[in-house]
A and B are shown apart, each in its own frame.
Chain A
Amino acid sequence: MKQASRKVPDGKMVELSLGFENGNVQKAVIRGDFFLQPPEKLSELERKLEGLEREEEKSDIIRELQEVEAELIGFSRQDIAEAFKQAAGGEK
C-alpha cells in the first residue's frame, strides 16, 4: 500500500493508503482524527477512490468524492485529493 499523510492547515490529520493494481486503485483506506457526518459515509468515500488511475487529475478525484453526500469536518475532499496525489507519487 502506498501511504500519504496530510496535516490540514488549522485542521486535522488525514492518512490515506492506496493499493494499486495495474495502475488503478484497487483498495483505498482513509484514516485520521477528523470528523465526518454521517460517519458511516467513510467507506463510500473510500470506494469512490477505488478504480481511479494512478495519474488521475486532482479535479477528477474531487468530482468523484463530491458524489458522496457527507459533511467533512476538519478536512475536505481537496485534502483527500492532495493525499491521493502524494501517495500515488508526486504532483501532476
Chain B
Amino acid sequence: MTEWRIINEGEYSEAMHHAIDEVLTGRVNTGDSRPALRFWYRKNPSVPIGRFQAFEDEVEHEYAEEKGIEVVRRGTGGGAMFCEPGNVITYSLYVPKNMVAGDVEASYRELDEFVVEALKQLGVKATYQPLNDIEHPDGKLGGAAQLRKDDAVLHHTTMSYDLDTEEMLKVLRIGKEKVSDKAVKSAEQRVSRITDHTVADREEVIQALIQKFVEDRQFEYSSLTDEEVEEAKKLAEEKFST
C-alpha cells in the first residue's frame, strides 16, 4: 500500500507555495517523492490568478500594491482568488497519474471527496459541484485546479474559511464593467465561508480533513527536505515572483 506524506507545516510567500507545488509534482512525476498531501500556511495576503487570465482584468493592481498584496500567476488554470493568512484553507495533492481517474470531472470529484466528507462531519453541508467547485447551499466554499504532468497530477484547492468578502471585492475585479450595488451584492452572495457553518476553528478543520484523508490510507507526517526547499526557492525567484 502506498505510504503518503502528510506535510502540515511551512509558512511561505504565495510565490514560494506555487514553486513548492511545481517541485513536488515534478518529484512525484519522476518517482523521487512519495505521493503527498500538503497544507499551506501563508505569510501575507495574496491573489493567485489563473494561468490563462489577464492580470489587468482580474486585479485592482493599484489597490493590491498599496496593500502589499502579492499577485502570482499560477501554473494551473481557473480563476483569481483573494487569500489572507488564516482566512482560507489551501491544500495540494501530488498524486501518481495511475492513482487518479483519467476522466477530468471524475478526478476532481475523487480528489475533493475527502474534503466534502470531512466538512459534512463538521456539520457543513458541502457538495462537489462540477467541474471544480465545493459548494454549500448558500454559495461557493472553494475551488480546485489541476495540472497533469506525464505521470503525476497536481490538484490544489482553496476554500474560504473566514474570507473578508468586502475586501475581496476591492482587490478583485469582479464584473467591474457593471459595478452596480446589485452586481457587487451577487458576487458577495456567491461566496460561502466554512466559519458561517461550523464552530470548529481553522486548525480543527485542517485536522478533520487530515483524519478523513488517512482513514483508508497509509501515511506519515513529513517535512519538505532541504533539497526540495532549495529547488523551490530558485523556482519561486525565477518563475513565480512578480
- Which positions in A face B, CB cutoff 8 Å? 10-11, 15, 30-39, 42, 71, 73-74
Contact = CB atoms under 8 A, between A and B. Distances in A.
Contact of B51 (A10, A15, A39, A71): A39
A37 B54 CA distance: 19
Contacts of B57: 15, 31
A36 B52 CA distance: 9
Contacts of A38: 148
A35 B146 CA distance: 8
19 contacts: A15-B54, A31-B53, A33-B50, A33-B53, A33-B80, A34-B52, A35-B77, A35-B145, A35-B146, A36-B52, A36-B77, A37-B104, A37-B147, A39-B51, A39-B52, A39-B75, A39-B77, A39-B147, A42-B52
B139 interface: no
Given A15-B54, A15-B57, A39-B147, A33 B131 contact: no
A11 B77 CA distance: 13
B104 A30 contact: no
Contact of B78 (A30, A35, A42, A71): A35
Contacts of A32: 50, 52-53
Among A10, A30, A42, A74, find the residue whose CB has the most chain B CB atoms closer than 10 A. Answer: A74
Contacts of A36: 52, 77
Given A15-B57, A37-B148, A73-B131, A31 B52 contact: yes
A30 B54 CA distance: 9
Given A15-B57, A42-B52, A73-B131, A33 B147 contact: no
B190 to A, nearest CB: 14
Contacts of B54: 15, 31
Given A35-B145, A37-B148, A71-B104, A30 B52 contact: yes
A30 B77 CA distance: 13
Which 6 residue pairs are nearest across A and B when measured between Cβ atoms?
A: A35-B77, A33-B79, A31-B54, A33-B50, A33-B78, A73-B104
